[in-house]
């Protein structure tokens, strides 16, 4: 055989080896289905899909103990991708079940399947940070064996310039948790925040929980956003539009992680999403985050609802972690701005721009001595606990649960005494009287703003009294904890009795009239950073 012909044959064989299984008609489930997995329980149906021979009919059977058939569905393999999709009947929590797909004489069976709640965990390195890397890691790993019905799965990091149908790789297939498969370090798998949240959900609900991790350190929100979401915020969609930023270690190109790590999961029926991301955007497009984050949430909800044939609810519960700390004495306020933008500049969630969301405030969990750098605090237990409270209240409807810290509702200026009385929404616990935590904006003009410290004079059950000092009677704005490192570990000034910190805020203050106590000020979400 001539050398050129041999080379051509080898090239053809290589191409065939790279072709997807469906091209050859091989029957299989999609990559993120497997033994030990959790499928979403009632009231919705779990979507099941895979690859097969074009035009063939695939029969999907769910079986219980001793092979008892629970439900049977058929689906046709459609082109050009050679995929089949079906929706199982809604199932109560529990298991184990077997799931079999048949195509002619071929069949493939998944075993030890449970029905429960499926949560997707995504973001950058603080989400990717593993159980081995957090505080009390050995204790957490030893406890893994007590949670055999919390199942874990991790997608491998991947990027693509086009939307992929299935995952390119899997870091951890569906597994029963053990100290070994939770104990990988170096931000590989499995996510500590995701695990601790899922474990707590299992304890609270008594239902199996499936956890899907898709995270990559050092990545901005633009990489996780679809082109449509970026377009909604006026950001460039072309793949070469983001210039590399030296602070960021992961892919920065718009949409490449959406394409490779989120788009393939859209057929999955989900119960909720947990998101820990934003540090990268303290260095890139910081002041666009008040659009890009709400846009990502809305877009992911739309896409998962459509991809799951309407099974994933349109207002999919979406929890996130507000940024922690980085540099102690930094004069830069990009972290403070990013925290504010994480709430769509409204301070607390859920709100009108971000319905169905919940937030874990983390600015009091700084960890200067973390071996992974101060940007990676090791206390992920408090992060997960605060997420859990939000999930129970927002996703599971526990109306009596307090899930966020106190927030200002009213301010009265005592002109003659030079004091500002700020009333909060909840009872206050003062842990620290930091003279610089509160600041007031004082100026003869609205801009530029001159921020001055407003020391705490007194803390009542729901009221904080601030000394205005050199501000006089003109107060244009009020802000709290507006710093990259606003307080020491669990020692911010204000908490509620449940131990939840008061979130940071930036408020405009407008005089609205007089009261017995002085001049009433209207508090409005602030938008100025000058």
d(CA 111, CA 82): 24
CATH number (domain holding residue 104) = 2.60.40.10
Residue 341 structure tokens: 């933008």
486-522 confidence digits (pLDDT tens) = 999 999 999 999 999 999 999 999 888 777 668 898 9
Burial of 304 (0-12, 13-18, 19+ CB in 10 A): buried
Q: What percent of the chain has pLDDT over 90?
A: 80
Residue 7, domain member (yes or no): no
d(CA 205, CA 118): 13
190-222 confidence digits (pLDDT tens) = 999 999 999 999 999 999 999 999 999 999 999
**Beta-ladder partners of 441:** 451, 477
Residue 160 backbone dihedrals phi, psi, to 5 degrees:
-155, 145
Residue 3 has pLDDT above 60, yes or no: no
Pick the range with the lowest mean pLDDT from 143-147, 417-421, 440-444, 498-502: 440-444
Residue 140 structure tokens: 């957490």
Mean pLDDT of 312-333: 95
Of 314, 327, 321, nearest in space to 283 by CA: 327
Measured CA distances, 437 to 282, 464, 482, 488, 492 (Å): 21, 12, 7, 12, 8
Residue 530, domain member (yes or no): no
Kindly report the pTM of this predicted structure.
0.92
| Whether the Cβ atoms of residue 44 and residue 89 lie closer than 8 Å to each other | no
Of 143, 119, 91, nearest in space to 201 by CA: 119
376 & 424 share domain: no
d(CA 219, CA 238): 17
Residue 500 per-residue DSSP state? P
Residue 24 has pLDDT above 50, yes or no: no
d(CA 140, CA 142): 5
91 & 150 share domain: no
Residue 479, domain member (yes or no): yes
The region that residue 53 occupies, defined by phi over 0 for left and psi between -120 and 50 for alpha, beta otherwise, is beta
Residue 118 structure tokens: 């499926």
Tell me the three state secondary structure of residue 375.
coil
Mean pLDDT of the chain: 91
Residue 529 has pLDDT above 80, yes or no: no
Query: Residue 526: what pLDDT?
Result: 87
Of 390, 387, 363, 391, nearest in space to 377 by CA: 363
Element (H, E) at 299: helix 289-307
Residue keyed to tokens 């940070």:
129
Query: Residue 204: what pLDDT?
Result: 97
Residue 23, domain member (yes or no): no
Whether the ω angle into residue 43 lies within 30 degrees of 0, i.e. cis, is yes
140 & 209 share domain: yes
446 & 385 share domain: no
Domain edge (last residue) among 93, 112, 131: 112
Residue 27 has pLDDT above 90, yes or no: yes
d(CA 156, CA 215): 8
Sheet strands side by side (includes 83-87): 28-29, 47-51, 83-87
For residue 506, the enclosing domain spans 408-525
Q: Quick one: pLDDT band at residue 245, thresholds 50, 70, 90? A: low
Residue 41 structure tokens: 């329980």
136-191 confidence digits (pLDDT tens) = 999 999 999 999 999 999 999 999 999 999 999 999 999 999 999 998 888 988 99
Q: Give, in degrees to the nearest 5, the angle at Cα 468 between 465 and 471.
A: 155
119 & 170 share domain: yes
Domain edge (last residue) among 75, 97, 112: 112
Tell me the three state secondary structure of residue 313.
coil
- Residue 204's CB: how many other CB atoms inside 10 A? 15
Of 467, 418, 474, nearest in space to 441 by CA: 474
Query: Residue 513: what pLDDT?
Result: 77
Whether the ω angle into residue 84 lies within 30 degrees of 0, i.e. cis, is no
341 & 458 share domain: no
Residue 19, domain member (yes or no): no
Query: Residue 238: what pLDDT?
Result: 59
d(CA 317, CA 202): 17
Residue 275, domain member (yes or no): yes
163 & 181 share domain: yes
347 & 209 share domain: yes
Residue 249 has pLDDT above 90, yes or no: no
Tell me the three state secondary structure of residue 78.
strand
Residue 499, domain member (yes or no): yes
d(CA 87, CA 107): 18
Domain edge (last residue) among 55, 90, 112: 112
d(CA 124, CA 248): 10
386 & 438 share domain: no
Domain count, the chain: 3
Mean pLDDT of 266-292: 96
| Whether the Cβ atoms of residue 47 and residue 309 lie closer than 8 Å to each other | yes
DSSP, residue by residue, 209-227? EEEEEEE-TT--HHHHS-H
Rounded to 10 deg, the angle between the 289-307 and 334-341 helix axes is 40
Instruction: Return the higher-pLDDT residue of 240 and 151.
Output: 151
123 & 107 share domain: no
453-480 confidence digits (pLDDT tens) = 999 999 999 999 999 977 766 788 999 9
Measured CA distances, 233 to 212, 284, 285, 475 (Å): 28, 15, 11, 33
d(CA 476, CA 521): 10
108 & 119 share domain: no
CATH number (domain holding residue 173) = 3.40.50.1110
387 & 423 share domain: no
Q: Quick one: pLDDT band at residue 528, thresholds 50, 70, 90? A: low
Residue 107, domain member (yes or no): yes
């Amino acid at each position: 055989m001539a050398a050129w012909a041999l080379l051509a044959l080898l090239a053809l064989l290589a191409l065939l080896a790279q072709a997807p299984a469906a091209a050859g008609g091989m029957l299989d489930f999609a990559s993120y289905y497997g033994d030990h997995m959790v499928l979403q329980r009632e009231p919705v149906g779990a979507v099941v899909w895979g690859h097969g021979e074009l035009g063939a009919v695939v029969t999907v059977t769910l079986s219980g103990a001793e092979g008892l058939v629970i439900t049977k569905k058929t689906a046709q393999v459609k082109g050009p991708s050679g995929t089949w999709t079906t929706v199982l009947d809604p199932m109560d929590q529990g298991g184990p079940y077997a799931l079999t797909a048949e195509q002619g004489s071929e069949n493939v069976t998944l075993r030890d399947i449970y029905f429960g709640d499926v949560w997707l965990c995504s973001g950058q390195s603080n989400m990717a940070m593993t159980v081995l890397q957090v505080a009390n890691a050995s204790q957490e790993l030893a406890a893994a064996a007590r949670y055999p019905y919390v199942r874990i799965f991790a997608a491998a990091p991947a990027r693509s310039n086009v939307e992929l149908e299935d995952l390119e790789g899997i870091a951890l297939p569906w597994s029963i948790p053990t100290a070994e498969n939770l104990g990988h370090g170096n931000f590989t798998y499995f996510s500590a925040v995701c695990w601790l949240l899922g474990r707590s959900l299992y304890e609270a609900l008594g239902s199996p929980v499936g956890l899907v991790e898709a995270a990559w350190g050092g990545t901005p929100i633009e990489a996780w956003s679809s082109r449509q979401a970026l377009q909604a915020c006026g950001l460039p969609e072309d793949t070469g539009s983001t210039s590399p930023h030296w602070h960021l270690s992961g892919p920065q190109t718009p949409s490449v992680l959406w394409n490779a790590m989120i788009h393939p999961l859209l057929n999955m029926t989900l119960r909720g999403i947990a998101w820990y991301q934003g540090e990268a955007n303290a260095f890139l497009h910081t002041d666009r985050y008040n659009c890009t984050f709400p846009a990502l949430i809305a877009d992911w909800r739309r896409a998962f609802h459509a991809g799951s044939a309407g099974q994933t609810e349109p207002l999919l519960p979406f929890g996130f972690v507000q940024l922690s700390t980085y540099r102690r004495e930094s004069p830069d306020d990009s972290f403070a701005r990013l925290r504010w933008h994480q709430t769509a500049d409204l301070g607390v969630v859920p709100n009108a721009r971000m319905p169905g969301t919940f937030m874990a405030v983390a600015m009091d969990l700084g960890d200067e001595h973390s071996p992974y750098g101060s940007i990676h605090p090791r206390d992920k237990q408090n992060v997960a606990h605060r997420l859990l409270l939000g999930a129970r209240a927002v996703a599971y409807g526990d109306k009596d649960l307090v899930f966020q810290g106190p927030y200002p509702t009213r301010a009265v200026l005592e002109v003659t005494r030079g004091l500002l009385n700020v009333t909060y929404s909840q009872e206050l616990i003062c842990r620290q009287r930091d003279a610089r935590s509160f600041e007031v904006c004082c100026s003869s003009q609205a801009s530029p703003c001159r921020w001055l410290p407003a020391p705490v004079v007194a803390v009542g059950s729901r009221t904080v009294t601030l000394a205005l000092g050199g501000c006089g009677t003109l107060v244009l704005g009020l802000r709290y904890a507006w710093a990259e490192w606003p307080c020491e570990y669990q020692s911010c000034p204000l908490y509620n009795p449940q131990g939840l910190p008061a979130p940071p805020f930036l408020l405009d203050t407008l005089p609205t009239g007089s009261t017995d106590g002085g001049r009433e000020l209207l508090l409005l979400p602030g938008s100025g950073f000058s």
